[in-house]
Structure 1
Amino acid sequence: MSEKNREGKRTARERLAVERERQKARDRRRRTLLVSAAVVGVLALAAVGGLLAANAGDDDKKKDSAGPVVAPTGAAGKDKLAIQSGKDGAKSTLTVWEDFRCPACKQFEDGYRSAINGLVDKGQLKVQYHLATLIDDNMGGSGSLRAANAAACAQDAGKFAPYHDVLFQNQPMETDDAFADNDKLIELAGKVEGLDTAPFKKCVTDGTHNSWVTKSDKAFEDAGLRGTPTVLLDGKNIFEDQKNPLTPDKLKAAVEKANG
């Protein structure tokens, strides 16, 4: 075979090899495009699914909060959005914004409960509780809303303070929306003497005060408050000075001083 023929065959083989590599490259690009399209499709479906789930959650909230605003018995403060514990004549007022699903609120209650209840019992302090649904908004679910409604139902029965304490003492993990179960809220009412009654159960299951809770949460947002708990003693944030916060003992001393 002549050198010319050998060179021609080699050139042909090289051209074929180059063409095969080009075809492989085209095949790889095509597969990449197909896979990419499939991934985009899955992500789009996931996004739609997430959007539908989010909208479903919003729809559930709207459904829970539908109906007239019914304030609990004896509601106090602006627009009757507070539940008061203690006598009107007390010289000091503690304003507390709380969420029953909020771990920091539980820490506050566990640390300050004894001091607050003692001052209330002495008639030296009144506490105005404002209920928010911050954790529902951040984590999803409806436990903050339903627990707050149940607490308002307890207020109707004259049992807000002890039931309020029971809810925090039995608070689930933040990610566990256990308070969304009305049966759980009714079960906890059994820990408060005289609360587990037919009217209380109906109030809880009917969501009688849901719209009131939603209005309270809106007031929380409108006030520009950053989180729960927000606690004010006679209008001053007790945690404002992080280096020198108002401890339970300092709270007692401040209130007793105000009462002479």
Structure 2
Amino acid sequence: MSEKNREAKRTARERLAAERAKQKAAEKRRRALIVGAAVVCVLGLAAVIGVVAANAGKDDGTTGAVVAPSGATGQDALAVPVGRSDAKSTLVVWEDFRCPACRSFEGEYRDTIHELTDAGLLRAEYRLATIIDGRMGGSGSRKAANAAACAQDAGKFTAYHDVLYENQPEENDDDFGDNAKLLELAKKVDGLDTPAFRTCVEDGTHDAWVKKSAQAFLDSGHQGTPTVLLNGQNLAEVPSMTPAKLKQMVQENAKG
């Protein structure tokens, strides 16, 4: 075999190896994206179709005026803000206090979100959904959301929000449907267990607001909770998403 032919074959093998390596890397990125999306948004489209149907035809009996919690912002005042209003980045978090995937998200990302909001680099906007009530039955999603809104009135939203996730019952256990449980958990937050808070929880002061927020989620087209958007970008679509990557994205955006 001539040197020219050997060189041609070697070049062809190298090209083939390079193409295989490229395909392998692309497949690895694709798998990472799928895994990341599954972690961030564990309720798949098929499940959500059932959730939407369950909620759409369900009347939970909530009536009365829509009373937004103190400081709520956005269209119809449905967002509970945490952090400085002039932060360069905004993280919108759709959550359901009964949702196990939301608990997983909070467990992994909460410290990073707190760090960034405390540093003035990030503004978080929490929007509350009640899809587990619709799928599993019960009222725990709604009542926990109302209690969180009551905590916002008292300036204790973040601390109580974290306590709820740290003490989340099993998905099929409607423990949060008992106001006594929600009031008991309030004792874990300094200064929250007050007559005003207890009345707000027991009267369901923000129930109609929660219902409106839940409907906004159903109308949004999002495919499950948690749905997390950084400056409008769904983090479930970001390959290999991690708390460190979220921090990097926020810091880079702050630099302009």
What's the TM-score once normalised by structure 1's chain length?
Answer: 0.75
1:246 is displaced (CA, Å) by: 2.3
The structure 2 residue matched to 1:229, chosen from 214, 217, 226, is 226
1:58 is displaced (CA, Å) by: 5.0
Note the aligned Cα RMSD (angstroms). Answer: 1.3
Q: Is the 8 A contact 1:75 1:81 kept in 2?
A: yes
What is aligned with 2:215? 218
What is aligned with 1:47? none
What is aligned with 1:84? 81
CA–CA distance in structure 2, aligned partners of residues 107 and 169 of structure 1 = 10
| Residues matched between the structures, number | 200
1:251 aligned to 2:243? Answer: no
CA–CA distance in structure 1, aligned partners of residues 205 and 98 of structure 2 = 20
What is aligned with 1:24? none
1:226 is displaced (CA, Å) by: 1.2
1:259 is displaced (CA, Å) by: 1.1
What is aligned with 1:95? 92
Q: How does 1:11-50 map to 2 (within 5 A)?
A: none
Q: How does 1:86-125 map to 2 (within 5 A)?
A: 86-125=83-122
CA–CA distance in structure 2, aligned partners of residues 172 and 67 of structure 1 = 29
CA–CA distance in structure 1, aligned partners of residues 124 and 107 of structure 2 = 16
1:145 is displaced (CA, Å) by: 0.1
Task: Give ranges in structure 1 of 5+ residues lacking alignment.
Answer: 1-53
Deviates more, 1:244-253 or 1:65-74: 244-253
1:6-63 Cα shifts (integer Å, max 9, x gaps): xxxxxxxxxxxxxxxxxxxxxxxxxxxxxxxxxxxxxxxxxxxxxxxx9xx956x11x
Q: Is the 8 A contact 2:58 2:134 kept in 1?
A: no
What is aligned with 2:143? 146
1:137 aligned to 2:134? Answer: yes
Greater C-alpha radius of gyration: 1
* SS at 1:239 equivalent: helix
CA–CA distance in structure 2, aligned partners of residues 86 and 117 of structure 1 = 9
1:217-236 Cα shifts (integer Å, max 9, x gaps): 00001111111000000000
What is aligned with 2:180? 183
The structure 2 residue matched to 1:161, chosen from 122, 142, 158, is 158
1:87-118 Cα shifts (integer Å, max 9, x gaps): 10111000000000000000000000010000
* SS at 1:129 equivalent: strand
CA–CA distance in structure 2, aligned partners of residues 218 and 127 of structure 1 = 21
* SS at 2:124 equivalent: strand
Q: Is the 8 A contact 1:95 1:231 kept in 2?
A: yes
CA–CA distance in structure 2, aligned partners of residues 73 and 133 of structure 1 = 20
CA–CA distance in structure 1, aligned partners of residues 196 and 240 of structure 2 = 41
What is aligned with 1:67? 64
CA–CA distance in structure 2, aligned partners of residues 239 and 80 of structure 1 = 25
What's the TM-score once normalised by structure 2's chain length?
Answer: 0.76
Q: Is the 8 A contact 2:109 2:243 kept in 1?
A: yes
